[in-house]
Homo-oligomer: A and B are copies of this chain.
């Protein structure tokens, strides 16, 4: 499907510059930032941007590769903790730090992006790791048994909203939000949940995922 015709040297260089510029601009102004701004930042014309990336999603996909990798790295770190709950907290906390540092990353969870097969595979891997983090913390009796990987979405959607509302005010708000949410996820003192979790298919739809 991806006809891998090699790019000419200048085209490749421009592609790099565009991805780099996209990272910067997306991080600062979100995934809806004007494409012209990205082209300008890359020192390239808008036409070239469209030559390299025919759709916004293609550019987003290229620009988010780093973040997907970073997410996987965080998950790996989490699994290396001796204490399962500490590992879980590490994972959630670091992801939230990424959200706070990068508006594009934040937007990613709330938007339907048509990702490349490569990114989709990486994401699937990430989910698998996250599943292990969750299961391990549950087996240790620290994370409440009635939650699902899907319930982590609430943590991330919620935290992203608090970051959006409080950027420029300080980090204490988001730290508190997260701490409260984590207390709600502890097995200790958990009250029965009133509704079933999102099914994997529903999560996909909600993430705007790979439909």
Q: Which residues of A contact B (CB under 8 A)?
A: 109-110, 147, 151, 153-154, 157-162, 164-166, 168-173, 175-177, 179-186, 188-191, 193-198, 202, 205-207
Contact = CB atoms under 8 A, between A and B. Distances in A.
A176 B191 contact: no
Given A158-B158, A193-B176, A165 B202 contact: no
Given A157-B162, A206-B165, A183 B177 contact: no
Given A181-B181, A186-B189, 9 more contacts: A151-B177, A157-B161, A158-B159, A158-B161, A160-B161, A176-B193, A183-B191, A184-B184, A189-B189
A183 to B, nearest CB: 4
Contacts of A182: 184, 191
A197 B169 CA distance: 12
